[in-house]
Amino acid sequence: MVKVKLQDIIEEMSFQFDEWCSFLHLDTGEVIGMHEDLLMQAEENGPESEDGEEDLTTAWDIFINTEKYAALPDRFEINEYSMMEDFCLLQEGENKEKLLYAIRGGGAFRRFKDLVLALGIEQEWYDYRDSRYRQVAIRFCERHNMPYEE
């Protein structure tokens, strides 16, 4: 069985946004990302497109061969807000209080990132976030019995 590159999964998970779908081809270890509209188009029209778009062929393959693909954890499963909150709780003293306050209410992500930068702990945050994404990717591989490499 092919080993998937853990970093490929991590990069795809961190890239996700609304209406974006990501999959792992279980036979090849290829990580695939596409807009959900492409999947709907494949479902409605089959693999043929007017411009011969290769992504549509891939979307069709995902649609008809669901057993060959595993959907990567989406942004709701990953829950980066929870990561931010946990990171805040690891801090001490005034930094902890400022960070916890920053993540309350609308605009929490922007305030958090601005404050992390202002406090000079940006690299610490990114290292922490990367380690959490890595944990999610490893759990995903284990759940699908997919060998992986660093």
Would you say 148 and 30 are in contact if contact means Cβ atoms under 8 Å apart? no
What are the tokens at 92?
Answer: 């001490």
Predicted pLDDT of residue 29: 94
Q: Residue 119's CB: how many other CB atoms inside 10 A?
A: 15
| pTM to 2 decimal places | 0.85
Q: Residue 71's CB: how many other CB atoms inside 10 A?
A: 13
pLDDT tens digits along 34-65: 989 888 888 887 776 555 566 788 899 999 99
